[in-house]
Amino acid sequence: MKSTWILGIVTVLVLSACNIESTSEVPVSTITASPEVTVSSIQVAESSTPDLSHTSEPSLTPDVSSQPCSVKHGKVDIFSISKRDQVITGQIYTPPCYQEYSDQEYPSLYLLHGATETDQQWEELGVFNIADELIFSGEIPPLIIILPKEKSWISLPDNPFGNQLIKDLLPWVDAEYRTSTTREDRAIGGLSRGGNWAVRLGLLYWGQFGSIGAHSTPLFVGDLELLPGWIETIPASKFPRIYLDIGRDDNDLSKASAFEEELIKLEIPHSWHLFPGTHNESYWQEHIKEYLLWYGSGWRELQ
């Protein structure tokens, strides 16, 4: 009797499994990791370029060096983290084959948006699709991109965004995603106000970031005067790589130039780029590829 009952359960399970329909699209899923964290997963949208991916399924335990990823598009997670009665939200991009290459670690890039914008700004500028293209072509290593949202525009030091990013978001990302925790493999960058944050956090927390990107960045009021003191605390061998760029017709050109001149005065190595353009999405969109190539040039291939 007992064996007949067990056989009946097995039969039901088999029949149920047969009724599950397969699909070629990655479904939208919501994962509740804890009462304080919610993560949703979606697939990066296809671009207009032809799909060059192979039809064969990747191995579950691949040799990365001999079986390069044939998947062309990464995925994006939507996150919400509650800490100390505060919530930080945003998006996280994981590269193609992230799930399949379960033993591989990745460099991470924190990209911060401009004033009055949201974490969707970088997405709308095309950063996910351009990352897909550069990874697929082998021009940059696979990476994880984090896009946090700044919810308030209140002045420093009352604005909690910087502390949330460093004390809450960064350790959560390193715990939940396979990031390399070496400072050289972690970068922070931003456009406009986001660049202000990137410079401030990248220099104050130099032990966490190996590269800083400041795109159309005027700096927060008072930070230029604080810069020499920040620099003094950083060992020469640990100074982050710095990339600065701005449009010739940008209203913040004089402020960005003053920042660059101070770096020269302090003898801090950096990369300075003055391009045609102004302070708008068209300018940043035109240079997304250059930004990602620069960030990627500071990383080794990890596995």
pLDDT at 284 over 80: yes
Per the domain annotation, does 57 fall within a domain? no
* pLDDT surpasses 70 at 49: no
Per-residue pLDDT at 52 exceeds 50: no
**Residue 1 scores a pLDDT above 70:** no
Rounded to an integer, what distance in angstroms lies between the CA atom of residue 287 and that of residue 215? 10
**Span 6-27, mean pLDDT?**
38
pLDDT tens digit sequence for 173-213:
999 999 999 999 999 999 999 999 999 999 999 999 999 99
* Dihedral sign of CA atoms 88, 200, 250, 159 in order: positive
- Asked if residue 243 is part of any domain, the answer here is yes
Q: Examine residue 286 and state whether it is found in any structural domain, yes or no.
A: yes
**Whole-prediction pTM value?**
0.80
**Is residue 35 in a domain?**
no
Task: Say whether 176 sits in a helix, a strand or coil.
Answer: helix
The parent domain of residue 271 ranges over 69-297
pLDDT of residue 37: 54
Digit-coded pLDDT (tens) for 65-82: 345 788 899 999 999 999
CATH classification at residue 119: 3.40.50.1820
Strand partners, 108: 144, 186
For residue 3, tell me if it sits in a domain: no
Secondary structure of 117-148 as H, E, C letters? CCCHHHHHCCHHHHHHHHHHCCCCCCCEEEEE
In a domain, 29, yes or no: no
Q: Is residue 237 part of a domain?
A: yes
pLDDT at residue 302 in the model? 57
Indicate whether 164 belongs to any domain.
yes
Q: What is the mean pLDDT of residues 281-301?
A: 94
Residue pair 59/101 in contact by the 8 Å Cβ criterion: no
pLDDT tier for residue 86 given thresholds of 50, 70 and 90: confident
Q: How many domains does the chain have?
A: 1
Residues 6+ apart with CB under 8 A from 254: none
16, pLDDT greater than 80: no
